[in-house]
């Protein structure tokens, strides 16, 4: 396995020619990641010092550069992931929207503001502001190599942090493109890239960054958290999901079917907040299955420009997807769209199989009558597969939706009870009468609960995620009665007790 390292003014690049590795030994990726963090720390002081207005100006220049070269970036994303050009352009456009929002709202959200005092502390004037942690490490995924990491990068930069970014080893050129674009717009190495596999991610966790944001599988998130815990490095983790779309008896069935197919099959099902399960009220179940069959049957996976779905980007995922489908069908599930493929047929797909190879394609699959407890019902599939199950009522729908360890997103279709049902679903985000709508709204926080991780990107929560609260209490005048010294006497204690009783004690008219 050949490995080459390069350090340049605008980025630190660690390019690994191989697959998974052990924690990096000193003198290998670790020293090059350390160099990136050191360079980022030098420039972060300048970046924080130019203030919210200065950063907004430069971040606006960056998003303008991205938009001007959108087709170029979309082509890189397509080459590395195989997704259709339109899908690549959509993810870039949404990332630009978030970048603009973060730059525009950072000052109001994070800037110093006065907070109220109390009668007992009337002599104090208080302020709170949110200051940048310093250097943020970001480990990005391959399925949305622009939109997802930019949810951390853009918000961290808007808050005054520098960022060291490790793109997925499957999409290194996309990550480097973003860094090069930033360099064109800003001219300083505030955003740097480190390239490589798991050993580079491990080195970034151990590099002394002030916080680390990770998006990927729940299993890898656990490893990241354990590694960062050794140095008490705080983490933001987004793991996997097994999102459900719930369809009530009063729902617009056609709209629900279209949403289920888009939410479950777009990006070849490789979406952390994608629809993997549909839970339909028995009153509309048959109609919904027919509508989903009609919608999904029109779609085709391919590598040509006319294809609706692209290939499976992660080679080993092909066997996982086909294996889950084959197991479910063997246990009694029926495929109303597509057909199962055995693990043996998928075994020939390896990390060396080109992204353009037809073996990397999986045509859409829709399953019904899937047995309860089947692996495809509880484990993340991350492919173009949807299961559709019948439920008696919304109580059962919510119970089934919540009966998985994940809690990332979801959707509810109901004309009357959508928000009510949505609140009962244990997830960080839920769409009502649409699918994945929350991801496109910059003001909404994005993140999960349970096995889907913790912490938030996007919105005001996303800005504060990469900053720490700085509280300041300034004495305005000397209080007539001071409790914070060793000279106070019993009389002062009595005055304090009387004041406390008047302010917070039980009133005579209260029972």
DSSP assignment of 156-207, as one string?
Answer: HHHTT-EEEEE--TTSHHHHHHHHHHHHHHH-STTEEE---SHHHHHHHHTT
pLDDT on residue 341: 62
What's the whole-number mean pLDDT along residues 133-156? 99
What's the whole-number mean pLDDT along residues 59-82? 98
pLDDT on residue 27: 56
Alpha carbon distance 447, 439 (integer Å): 10
Q: What is the pLDDT of residues 471-481, one digit of tens each?
A: 999 999 999 88
E strand intervals along 328-466: 334-337, 365-368, 385-391, 411-413, 431-432, 453-454
Residue from 169, 272, 276, 460 carrying the catalytic annotation: 272
Q: Indicate if the pLDDT at residue 347 is higher than 60.
A: no
**Percent of the chain with pLDDT strictly greater than 70:** 93
pLDDT on residue 420: 99
Lowest-confidence pick of 296-305, 367-376, 481-490: 481-490
What's the whole-number mean pLDDT along residues 301-328? 95
Beta-carbon contacts of residue 451 (< 8 Å; ≥ 6 apart)? 218, 239, 240, 404, 405, 406, 407
Q: Indicate if the pLDDT at residue 18 is higher than 50.
A: no
Beta-carbon contacts of residue 243 (< 8 Å; ≥ 6 apart)? 263, 273, 274, 275, 276, 277, 406, 408, 409, 410, 411, 427
Closest CA to 383 of 450, 316, 307: 316
272 part of the active site: yes
Residue ranges per domain, the chain? Answer: 3-239+459-468, 244-442
pLDDT on residue 485: 87
Structure token pair of residue 210: 């002030």
pLDDT band at 380 (very low <50, low <70, confident <90, very high): very high
Q: Which residue has the higher pLDDT, 255 or 29?
A: 255
pLDDT on residue 507: 77
pLDDT on residue 486: 87
pLDDT on residue 20: 32
State the fold for domain 244-442.
Answer: Aldehyde Dehydrogenase; Chain A, domain 2 (3.40.309)
Alpha carbon distance 423, 426 (integer Å): 8
What does pLDDT average to over the chain? Answer: 93
Residue from 238, 276, 295, 380 carrying the catalytic annotation: 238
The CATH number given to 3-239+459-468 is 3.40.605.10
Edge to edge, the sheet with strand 162-166 lists 191-193, 162-166, 135-139, 211-215, 235-238, 453-454
Alpha carbon distance 63, 59 (integer Å): 6
pLDDT band at 100 (very low <50, low <70, confident <90, very high): very high
What's the whole-number mean pLDDT along residues 93-100? 99
Q: What is the pLDDT of residues 270-281, one digit of tens each?
A: 999 999 999 999
């Amino acid at each position: 396995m050949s490995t080459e390292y390069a350090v340049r003014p605008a980025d630190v690049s660690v390019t690994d020619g191989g697959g998974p590795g052990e924690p990096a030994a000193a003198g290998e990726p670790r020293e090059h990641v350390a160099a990136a963090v050191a360079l980022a720390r030098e420039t972060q002081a300048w970046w924080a010092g130019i203030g919210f207005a200065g950063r907004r100006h430069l971040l606006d220049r960056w998003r303008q550069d991205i938009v001007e070269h959108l087709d170029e970036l979309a082509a890189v994303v397509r080459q590395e992931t195989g997704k259709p050009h339109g899908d690549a352009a959509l993810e870039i456009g949404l990332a630009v929207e978030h970048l603009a929002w973060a730059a525009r709202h950072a000052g109001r959200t994070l800037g110093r503001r006065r907070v109220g005092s109390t009668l007992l502390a009337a002599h104090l004037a208080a302020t709170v502001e949110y200051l940048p942690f310093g250097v943020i490490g970001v480990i990005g995924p391959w399925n949305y190599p622009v939109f997802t990491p930019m949810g951390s990068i853009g918000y961290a930069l808007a808050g005054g942090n520098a960022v060291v970014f490790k793109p997925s080893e499957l999409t290194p050129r996309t990550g480097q493109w973003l860094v090069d674009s930033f360099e064109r717009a800003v001219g300083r190495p505030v955003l740097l890239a480190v390239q490589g596999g798991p050993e580079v991610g491990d080195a970034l966790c151990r590099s002394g960054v002030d916080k680390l944001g990770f998006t990927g599988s729940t299993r890898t998130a656990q490893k990241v958290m354990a590694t960062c815990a050794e140095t008490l490095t705080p983490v933001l983790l987004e793991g996997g999901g097994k999102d459900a779309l719930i369809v009530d008896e009063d729902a617009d069935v056609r709209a629900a079917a279209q949403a289920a197919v888009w939410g479950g099959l777009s990006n070849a099902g490789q979406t952390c907040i994608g629809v993997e399960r549909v839970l339909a009220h028995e009153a509309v179940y048959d109609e919904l299955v027919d509508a989903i069959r009609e919608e999904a049957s029109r779609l085709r996976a391919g590598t040509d420009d006319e294809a609706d779905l692209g290939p499976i980007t992660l080679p080993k995922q092909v066997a996982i997807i086909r294996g889950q489908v084959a197991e479910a069908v063997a246990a009694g599930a029926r495929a109303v769209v597509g057909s199962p493929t055995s693990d043996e047929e998928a075994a020939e797909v390896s990390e060396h199989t080109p992204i353009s190879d037809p073996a990397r394609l999986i045509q859409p699959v829709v399953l019904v009558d899937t047995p309860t407890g089947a692996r495809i019902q509880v484990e993340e599939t991350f492919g173009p597969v949807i299961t559709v199950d019948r439920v008696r009522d919304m109580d059962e729908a919510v119970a089934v939706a919540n009966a998985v360890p994940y809690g990332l997103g979801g959707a509810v279709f109901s004309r009357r009870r959508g928000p009510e049902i949505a609140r009962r679903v244990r997830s960080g985000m839920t769409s009502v009468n649409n699918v994945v709508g929350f991801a496109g709204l910059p003001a909404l926080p994005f993140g999960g609960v349970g096995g889907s991780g913790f912490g938030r990107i996007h919105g005001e929560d996303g800005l504060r995620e990469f900053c720490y609260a700085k509280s300041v209490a300034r004495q305005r005048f000397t209080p007539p009665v001071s409790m914070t010294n060793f000279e106070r006497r019993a009389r002062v204690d009595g005055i304090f007790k009387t004041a406390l009783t008047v302010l917070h004690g039980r009133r005579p008219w209260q029972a």
